[in-house]
Structure 1
């Protein structure tokens, strides 16, 4: 783990940041720029994932979506915590880090060239712009080209994880102005500075929960996980049969 993150990821939480390493990349690590720019490399990790998930045929949408969620969960906790809690930016451009994969095509470590830069008092995009525009945007485009998975699904997964990380930070540290400002711009605003559409912004439905006072906020996008062999809808899937408008209308009291 990068020493900067150790105060934020102690004990059981340390596993969420151990994937970020500031050290020379080993020989089997792949530059992220190569993963994005050389189709056979991405094809290989998706093929390994497909075999592991027992997904047959040519439709790789669900495989690519599931792989992207694992990639994001390996990358984002430390990066988002540094950006929003510490006001620190790690270099996220594809040519500045490499990723190491295991035998089933899942990322196990990201190797950064350096420990980044402290940016106290900076605006949200100064800390997140390289991650969003330089890293995730071309990665998602490459995944869509390989598998036809809609980009809105990939951005929906990114929003899901960023929201969860910021929620946990707020639960631990309180409603810090910087956390609230980052959350608002990244997730709640339909456009980003300059008028660019925010791909992580999407309207969410809330549904009543039996025996629960608070409604359940469904995910912005279905991740297609239910299409994988042996899997089902998650507990907050907007496509789950029990949450479809017709089912809610027909339910007692609906």
Structure 2
């Protein structure tokens, strides 16, 4: 089945899997920035706001909303949220359609002030083979996003790739829950097989323990006020808490 213009099949999955398509809303008076703009070095923008420095805008928003004690904590969680959205959209299409959409960062518009899953718009739906899954997400997005957050906020690359691996595993689990609830176990197996291929590529390889599924780095969520450990955390208890 080829991709339809609205990627309607993703609607059944909900949440992180849904992707809006078509022309994005304008703010103020021009389209939302693309993810290509977010990954690029910041440049002065007279209008400021989401257009001035999209990535920094989002990191600051996350820091304020979660009362992050360090900006690198907010940068890590910004990364993990975006990675989860990208993996979910691509994986959902790969399994349900047998195709993946071209998520070229120049086609994918982003509202850094939005809430998930409404913050992304794909301006043009271009189908690609399933074999493009890794290139569509890891190469086109995670490589430049990781480089940007590492250089600008000092978040380690190992931690960020751990986020990416955790996000992919989370997408597989959510997809599997949906598939099993509908009696479509073969669909859940397809999602796991595609994810396993991606875990063999640079950056993602070795990010999770192959037996337990726990990650080998920490996203720093425990540093938030009242924050605990994620289900796949490498720690058994928050560091420094006895």
Cα distance change, pair 48–94 in 1 and its aligned pair in 2 (3 A): same
Q: Pairwise mapping of residues 46-65 of structure 1 onto structure 2 (< 5 A)?
A: 46-56=59-69, 59-65=70-76
Give yes or no for contact 1:36–1:42 (8 Å, CA) kept in 2: yes
Cα distance change, pair 202–24 in 1 and its aligned pair in 2 (3 A): same
Alpha-carbon offset, residue 226 of structure 1: 0.7
1:16 lines up with 2:16 in the alignment: yes
Alpha-carbon offset, residue 24 of structure 1: 0.8
Q: What secondary structure does 1:94 align onto?
A: coil
For 2:228, the equivalent position in structure 1 comes to 232
Question: How far, CA to CA, are the matches of 1:44 and 1:87 in structure 2?
Answer: 35
Q: What secondary structure does 1:98 align onto?
A: strand
Give yes or no for contact 2:92–2:175 (8 Å, CA) kept in 1: yes
1:32 lines up with 2:74 in the alignment: no
Q: Pairwise mapping of residues 1-254 of structure 1 onto structure 2 (< 5 A)?
A: 5-10=7-12, 13-18=13-18, 20-28=19-27, 29-39=32-42, 40-56=53-69, 59-102=70-113, 108-117=118-127, 119=129, 122=130, 124=131, 126-170=132-176, 172=179, 173-175=184-186, 178-187=190-199, 189=200, 192=201, 198-202=202-206, 204-205=208-209, 217-241=213-237
Cα distance change, pair 42–169 in 1 and its aligned pair in 2 (3 A): closer
Question: How far, CA to CA, are the matches of 2:10 and 2:26 in structure 1?
Answer: 30
Alpha-carbon offset, residue 179 of structure 1: 3.9
Structure 2: runs of 5+ lacking an equivalent: 43-52
Give yes or no for contact 2:9–2:96 (8 Å, CA) kept in 1: no
Which has the greater radius of gyration? 1
Q: Using the TM superposition, name which of 106-115 and 65-74 deviates more.
A: 106-115
The TM-score normalised by the length of structure 1 is 0.72
* Bigger relative contact order (CA 8 A; separation at least 6): 2
Alpha-carbon displacement from aligned partner over 1:141-184 (angstroms, at most 9, x marks no partner): 11111211112222222222222333444562334675454232
Aligned length: 217
Give yes or no for contact 1:69–1:157 (8 Å, CA) kept in 2: yes
Question: How far, CA to CA, are the matches of 1:32 and 1:7 in structure 2?
Answer: 24
Question: How far, CA to CA, are the matches of 2:7 and 2:233 in structure 1?
Answer: 32
Give yes or no for contact 2:207–2:217 (8 Å, CA) kept in 1: no
- CA-based RMSD of the aligned residues comes to 3.0
The TM-score normalised by the length of structure 2 is 0.75
